[in-house]
């Protein structure tokens, strides 16, 4: 299987998403350059070139989109499925020809995207911090709680990998 | 299940979420935290993928059914199968050395067959079919060190050249070479013939000192050569010598060849066949045509060969030293030296009887050739050599079998044992040499080799 068309298409898609969400030309050009590096690396089949580009993209994309207010359930799900899932797919396609082939592990990683919002919002509900955390001003605490959810999930999964 | 570990790429990816979480906190950006969570999910995906898949990898080496010899290549094919695609990087791990550097690197889809050629470098037992390397998930984030233990135990035989070389080791004497030079069947008569210059290898006791003082050069006395008149072959037919039909055939061949050559060159020939209990056949040296026929008949009438026994215990004793021979000496003196004809010497071995026969019949100096493998009653053989030397006979001990020739079922232990046995035999040969016998460790000639290798 040839991964190059997939990489190019996915890169273009991510760039399009970024621009349509932020309308920021500067960040689009910077991220586009990183995406171009990844594409070149994939084209000449050299992962040492594409890996820094990938890391850069992973930092730049959420940084640029950070201006969206996280004040409802809608933005977090929207962001997950419009940005994070494509980034993950992008990583997967760049690094390997055949990526999502195990349904079980795929389901487990998808459970991440479903469980993080659920844990996040259930925390908001049960800890009566809803108004505080959903205030667009308190983005720092928001980030901390989301990271905490992710790390919590990761530790649980990491320590007890489900075996069949 | 071997432990999983992160690859370099995996470690980099592990750092990215940490930086993303830190950045999310510092920049007050929850989306960065979400992205970090996504990358953690990616790591988790790889981990679980490999966790579920690696145990299904299997290796089936199919090795050519031929015998493995040192120095000869053998093709080994490894079959690695898995239900899911994997990145594999494997190399064969065997006891055998691979002459070519083989390393398999590819993406594995369901089934893959790798082939490599192995070149065994040493004989003995070797394990073949091991595979060692890493398996990683398609993204290469996690890897599993993979070490497939060798499933097939192979016996590597020494190379044919090595066996041949071992058998033709320098100081061993081929029968043909032994009988080629008829002069070697002569001894000095004691009559001075001439005085010539000393050559290295001449005996010191033959140096003519008076000429040395006159001429300043080393001069040595040359004695008149005189053909031996009587040659007797002592043929050991103890159970150890009868081990296997091939061995018997070879002994027959050797004895016949020896006697034929001796007869053709005009010597009197005689033969005594003995086993560990008594004398089985005796023909005193005579120069008559009928003698050879009689001997020939006796040789075709030897006891039946025994089943070849497995080489599971050492065949030569280690404690045979000159000091330990005193006991045998005492027995020998009791039974033999006091010439009491017909005295019971059962248990001491037929060789004693044979020596007695020599003592009784042959009065002149003669050549006595003892064909034995030195396994049964080695002390008696050594003592017999001493006695025969005392009777002024020339004694040759012909050892037709070194333990190497029993190398049919080669095992590492057996090889080790064979080697040790060989060392012991060398020791015994040394004692024999000191006792005054000429020791010939024979290797089979072309004909003998054919006999030995028949049916192999």
Radius of gyration of chain A (CA): 17
Q: List the end-to-end C-alpha distance of chain A, in Å, as a whole number.
A: 29
**Contact status of A151 with chain B (Cβ, < 8 Å):** yes
* Cα(B135)–Cα(B50) distance, integer angstroms: 8
- List, run by run, the mean pLDDT of 10-residue segments along chain B (456 residues): 80 90 87 88 84 62 61 71 74 64 67 72 70 81 78 68 50 54 54 76 76 82 68 85 78 81 78 83 79 84 77 75 70 56 52 74 75 81 83 82 56 67 80 80 63 52
**Contact status of A14 with chain B (Cβ, < 8 Å):** no
Q: Which pLDDT does position B94 carry in this prediction? A: 66
**Contact status of B31 with chain A (Cβ, < 8 Å):** yes
Q: Which two tokens stand for residue B159?
A: 């190379």
Residues 274-333 of chain B whose Cβ lies under 8 A from any Cβ of chain A: none
Q: What is the pLDDT of residues B277-318, one digit of tens each?
A: 778 888 888 777 788 888 888 888 888 887 777 677 777 877
Long-range contact list for B453-456, CB < 8 A, 24+ apart?
Answer: B454/B246, B455/B246, B456/B408
Burial of B455 (0-12, 13-18, 19+ CB in 10 A): exposed
Q: Name chain A contacts of B140, Cβ cutoff 8 Å.
A: 95-96
Which of A67, A75, A105 is the best substitution to test chain B (most B C-beta atoms within 10 A)?
Answer: A105
Nearest to B138 among A98, A112, A163 (CB): A98
**Contact status of A72 with chain B (Cβ, < 8 Å):** no
pTM, 2 dp: 0.50
Q: Which two tokens stand for residue B254?
A: 């050797």
Nearest to B51 among A76, A149, A161 (CB): A161
Relative to beta strand B173-174, strand B438-443 is parallel
Burial of B236 (0-12, 13-18, 19+ CB in 10 A): buried
Q: What share of chain B is helix, strand, coil (3-state, %, to 5)?
A: 40, 30, 35
Angle at B115 between CA B114 and CA B119, to 5 degrees: 140
Angle at B340 between CA B334 and CA B344, to 5 degrees: 70
Q: Name chain A contacts of B17, Cβ cutoff 8 Å.
A: 150
**Contact status of B108 with chain A (Cβ, < 8 Å):** no
* Cα(B429)–Cα(A50) distance, integer angstroms: 75
Task: With beta carbons less than 8 A apart as the criterion, state whether B335 and B352 touch.
Answer: yes
Q: Which pLDDT does position B53 carry in this prediction? A: 67
Interface A-B: count of C-beta contacts within 8 A: 175
pLDDT-based confidence at residue A31 (cuts at 50, 70, 90): very high
Q: Is the pLDDT of residue A119 over 80?
A: yes
Q: Name chain A contacts of B141, Cβ cutoff 8 Å.
A: 95
Q: Which two tokens stand for residue A92?
A: 């997967």
- ipTM tops 0.90: no
DSSP per-residue string spanning chain A:
---HHHHHHHHHHHHHHHHHHH--HHHHHHHHHHHHHHHHHHHTT-HHHHHHHHHHHHHHHHHHHTTS---SHHHHHHHIIIIIHHHHHHHHHHH-SS----HHHHHHHHHHHHHHHHHHHHHHHHTT-HHHHTSTT-HHHHHHHHHHHHHHHHHHHHHS----
Q: Which pLDDT does position A29 carry in this prediction? A: 93
Q: Cβ A143–B38 below 8 Å, yes or no?
A: no
């Amino acid at each position: 299987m040839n991964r190059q068309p997939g990489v190019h298409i996915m890169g273009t898609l991510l760039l399009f998403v970024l621009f349509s969400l932020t309308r920021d030309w500067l960040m689009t050009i910077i991220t586009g350059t990183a995406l171009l590096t990844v594409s070149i690396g994939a084209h000449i089949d050299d992962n040492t070139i594409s890996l820094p580009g990938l890391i850069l993209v992973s930092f730049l994309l959420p940084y640029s989109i950070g201006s969206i207010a996280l004040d409802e359930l809608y933005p977090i799900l929207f962001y997950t499925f419009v940005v994070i899932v494509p980034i993950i797919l992008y990583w997967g396609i760049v690094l390997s020809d055949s990526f999502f082939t195990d349904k079980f592990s795929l389901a487990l990683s998808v459970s991440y995207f479903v469980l993080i919002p659920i844990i996040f919002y259930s925390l908001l509900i049960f800890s009566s911090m809803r108004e505080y955390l959903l205030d667009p001003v308190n983005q720092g605490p928001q980030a901390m709680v989301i990271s905490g959810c992710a790390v919590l999930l990761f530790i649980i999964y990491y320590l007890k990998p489900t075996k069949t | 299940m071997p432990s999983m570990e992160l690859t370099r790429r995996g470690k980099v990816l592990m750092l990215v979420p940490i930086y993303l979480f830190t950045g999310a906190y510092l920049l007050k950006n929850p989306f960065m935290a979400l992205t970090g969570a996504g990358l953690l999910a990616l790591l988790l995906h790889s981990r679980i993928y490999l966790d579920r898949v690696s145990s299904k990898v299997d290796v089936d080496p199919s090795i050519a059914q031929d015998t493995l010899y040192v120095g000869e290549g053998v093709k080994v094919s490894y079959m690695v199968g898995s239900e899911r695609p994997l990145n594999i990087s494997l190399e064969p791990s065997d006891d055998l050395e691979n002459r070519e550097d083989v390393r398999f690197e590819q993406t594995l889809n369901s089934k893959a067959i790798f082939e490599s050629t192995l070149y065994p470098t040493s004989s003995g037992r070797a394990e073949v079919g091991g595979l060692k390397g890493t398996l990683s998930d398609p993204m290469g984030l996690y890897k599993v060190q993979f070490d497939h233990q060798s499933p097939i135990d192979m016996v590597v035989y020494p190379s044919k050249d090595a066996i041949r070389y071992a058998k033709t080791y320098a100081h061993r004497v081929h029968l043909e070479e032994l009988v080629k030079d008829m002069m070697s069947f002569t001894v000095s008569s004691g009559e001075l013939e001439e005085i010539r210059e000393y050559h290295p290898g001449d005996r010191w006791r033959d140096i003519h000192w008076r000429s040395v003082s006159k001429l300043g050069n080393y001069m040595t006395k040359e004695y008149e050569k005189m053909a031996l008149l009587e040659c007797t072959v002592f043929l050991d037919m103890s159970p150890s010598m009868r081990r296997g039909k091939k061995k018997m055939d070879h002994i027959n061949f050797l004895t016949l060849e020896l006697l034929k050559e001796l007869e053709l060159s005009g010597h009197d020939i005689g033969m005594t066949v003995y086993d560990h209990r008594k004398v089985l056949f005796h023909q005193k040296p005579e120069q008559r045509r009928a003698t050879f026929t009689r001997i020939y008949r006796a040789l075709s009438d030897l006891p039946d060969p025994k089943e070849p026994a497995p080489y599971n215990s050492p065949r030569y004793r280690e404690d045979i030293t000159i000091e330990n021979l005193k006991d045998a000496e005492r027995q020998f003196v009791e039974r033999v030296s006091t010439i009491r004809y017909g005295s019971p010497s059962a248990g001491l071995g037929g060789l004693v009887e044979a020596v007695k026969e020599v003592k009784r019949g042959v009065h002149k100096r003669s050549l006595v050739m003892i064909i034995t493998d030195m396994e049964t009653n080695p002390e008696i053989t050594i003592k017999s050599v001493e006695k025969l030397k005392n009777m002024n006979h020339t004694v040759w001990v012909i050892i037709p079998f070194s333990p190497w020739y029993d190398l049919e079922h080669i095992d590492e232990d057996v090889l080790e044992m064979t080697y040790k046995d060989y060392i012991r035999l060398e020791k015994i040969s040394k004692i024999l040499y000191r006792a005054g016998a000429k020791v010939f460790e024979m290797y089979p000639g072309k004909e003998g080799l054919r006999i030995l290798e028949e049916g192999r």
